[in-house]
Amino acid sequence: MLLFAAALLIIIGFVHSYLGEKYLLIRLFKRDNLPKLLGSDWFTKRVLRFAWHITTLAWWGFAAILYFLHSPSAQLKVDILLSIAWVFTCSGLVSLIVARGKHLSWLFFFAIACTCFMSV
């Protein structure tokens, strides 16, 4: 059952990112009344985009945890901590690259990732 749930999380992640980009974000970004943060709507669009796709990364991280819980090994804690660390590493990279460092979430994402890596 856990493998089925993990597979659903992988699929829903792809669907969420693809359909969200195609039917929601692109249409939303065509509007001319988005809030102008830091002087323009560029930052607003970037933050909305990376926040949308980070949700998918989180779901894939949960899928990995469900996979490890399906057939737990002796190092279950390590497997889960590494899954969390990689999700937050990827989230930090997405935030840093997409928002060009202007959204400071990357600092916290990297701090969480480092804490998890060091705990292993």
- Per-residue confidence (pLDDT) for residue 48, from 0 to 100: 93
For the chain, give the mean pLDDT.
95
- Per-residue confidence (pLDDT) for residue 40, from 0 to 100: 85
- Distance of alpha carbon 74 from alpha carbon 90, whole angstroms: 26
- Distance of alpha carbon 16 from alpha carbon 6, whole angstroms: 15
Summarised one tens digit per residue, pLDDT across range 51-107 is: 999 999 999 999 999 999 999 999 999 999 999 999 999 999 999 999 999 999 999
CB-count burial class (<10 Å; 0-12, 13-18, 19+) for 81: middle
- Per-residue confidence (pLDDT) for residue 39, from 0 to 100: 84
User: How far, in Å, are 17, 28, 58, 63, 115 from residue 82 at the CA level?
Assistant: 23, 35, 13, 13, 10
- Distance of alpha carbon 45 from alpha carbon 9, whole angstroms: 26
Which of 104, 106, 102 lies closest to 93 in space, CA to CA? 106
- Per-residue confidence (pLDDT) for residue 32, from 0 to 100: 87
> What is the DSSP code string of 39-66?
TBSHHHHHHHHHHHHHHHHHHHHHHHHH
- The predicted model scores a pTM of 0.89
- Distance of alpha carbon 52 from alpha carbon 100, whole angstroms: 17
Summarised one tens digit per residue, pLDDT across range 8-48 is: 999 999 999 999 999 999 999 999 898 998 888 999 999 99
